[in-house]
Amino acid sequence: MVAAGAALADEVGLAKLTMGLLAERVGVRTPSLYKHVNGLEDLNRRIAVLALNEAADAVGGAIQGYAGRDALAAAARAFRAFVVAHPGRYAATIGVEPSGPDDPLAAAGQRLLTAFTAVLRGYEVPESDVEHALRTLRSLCHGFGTLQASNGFQWSADIDESFEWLIAFADRGLRSM
């Protein structure tokens, strides 16, 4: 049910995802969905967990065997690709808070942070600045990916070239720490 909801969110946008639309998609009556989820908020949280785990898998897999700029580039490209391919499920991750340390959302979010933290090991980022560096990387990748997914770049410059410029910019910044 969650996978179907995530696919539908990618297709129509998270804001347009409804229990009725999901029921129609999977061929059941809306009340039948409540055997699987406790409503739209629960479905959105489960989609967020799925998305964070998928993004963590993509980034973690991409950085294997790389360090420094190569790891940064691999992580950034994987994250951007995930956001562009799955805009609805990625949108579910924004602003949702774990209910506690045992919440699957907390574990999934930590997996993604761990992958990006591994990227930072290739740079001499002081421990006291790691959280700031993580927020900066997230902001850069999130901003670019969500703008691209929503067709927010309508200039003539090549989007891939711009993204490579972003990677070089981040690399220079991290090396200067």
* E-assigned strand segments in 16-173: none
For residue 156, pLDDT beyond 90: no
Collapsing DSSP states into helix, strand and coil, what is residue 4? helix
Helix (H) or strand (E) holding 129: none
**Which CATH number describes the domain made up of 47-176?**
1.10.357.10
Query: What's 16-45 look like in SS3?
Result: HCCHHHHHHHHCCCHHHHCCCCCCHHHHHH
Q: pLDDT tens across 41-78, in order?
A: 999 999 999 999 999 999 999 999 999 999 999 999 99
Q: How many CB atoms lie within 10 A of CB 108?
A: 21
- Residue 106 to residue 117: CA distance in whole angstroms: 16
Q: What pLDDT, on the 0 to 100 scale, is given for residue 66?
A: 98
> In a 10 Å sphere around its CB, with 0-12 CB exposed, 13-18 middle and 19+ buried, how is residue 83 labelled?
buried
For residue 90, pLDDT beyond 90: yes
For residue 157, pLDDT beyond 90: no
Could you give the percent of the chain with pLDDT greater than 90?
A: 97
Q: How many CB atoms lie within 10 A of CB 87?
A: 19
- Residue 68 to residue 119: CA distance in whole angstroms: 7
| CA max distance for the chain | 57
Phi-psi category of 107—alpha, beta or left, where left has phi over 0 and alpha has psi -120 to 50? alpha
Query: By the 8 A CB rule, do 148 and 77 touch?
Result: no
Domain boundaries of the chain, sorted by first residue: 47-176
